[in-house]
Chain A
């Protein structure tokens, strides 16, 4: 059975974006790109909520992305993607499927299929829905050495506090710290 793994850049104060969605605080360098590529290479597909999907879909297929980040752009464009939305009417990004049905059923079906793990990027609302359903198998949080003091929380709408097992950590030269956890449901 494959896993659903969430990955996010976060500030030290637990935010994934500033009040207006700002992500200009991301510490991104060569080492981060190597990590991002390795993570994408290990993925069977990508899961998105609508907002993150629209942000990604408006960037990765562009000539700018292909020029600046050719390897990541190629992976992002070719990997299978599922976007969960009740309001989107169609999706145009390559290899994307729009899912309007029951999220729990969709994810459970996906997990039962053989293959590589699926990644959930950003998508805070979807992530909290999946967290409350107990459907996320691993949380990867890249803590940037930044305090924004206000903005969009990475984990919101969490019904019950969730205890975790620390699986691994990695320090990046930029000052980022990657923390990887699995839920500890005893």
Chain B
């Protein structure tokens, strides 16, 4: 069995994005640490598990970054890794035609099959399964006991409003693994093991 790891950013006050789904509200403070850690997590994974919204966001941004001279080395590496990794998308509406240029590396599973398919994937041997962004998806997986670790990059900002990263209390307990700062960065990455509370 391998690990299913969720990596997300949040503000100090627990928001995933600013008001009006403003994902850039967190950006000014994130800087390079966020990308550096993203590269690290992608290298440790062989499957990227995404919800529809995040998949579309990434597919419209990352594929060409590998060859973009204005991109940072980390961004180019994220692009190469994103393009190569097997991507599993949970969606009832996404069609293979809508997966270009990731068609050959994208596998679509329906919402009805998601729990069973993801549990099966997780029971296989291999590298990590990485969930990035995809908040709706991972909050559901959290309640299903399918997430092993939660890695949060706490950005140096108080947003005061926005979309909360958690909504409702999942029946899990969190166990701190460690924290990690980056030189010259105001971010702190906090990592937790997830223990499912038996009902």
A79, CB-defined interface residue at 8 Å: no
What number of A-B contacts does a CB cutoff of 8 Å give? Answer: 107
Number of interface residues of A (CB under 8 A): 37
Contact A161-B158, Cβ < 8 Å, known A150-B169, A166-B186:
yes
Q: Which of A86-107 contact B (CB under 8 A)?
A: none
B145, CB-defined interface residue at 8 Å: no
Which of A14, A131, A164, A184 has the most chain B CB atoms closer than 10 A to its own CB? A14
A143 touches B190 (CB 8 A): yes
- B146-186: CB near A (< 8 Å → 1, else 0) gives 00000010101111110011111110111110110100011
Residue ID in chain B nearest A131 by CB atoms? B158
A162 touches B158 (CB 8 A): yes
Interface size class of B (residues with CB under 8 A): 35 or more
Nearest CB on B from A49, distance (A): 18
B156 touches A165 (CB 8 A): yes
In angstroms, Cα B165 to Cα A14, docked, is 10
Contact A150-B160, Cβ < 8 Å, known A155-B13, A169-B181:
no
Q: A residues near B, CB below 8 A? A: 11-15, 131, 139, 141, 143, 145-150, 153-166, 169, 171, 175-177, 179, 181, 184
What are 7 A-B pairs with beta-carbon distances under 8 A?
A12-B14, A12-B192, A148-B169, A153-B13, A158-B158, A166-B181, A177-B188
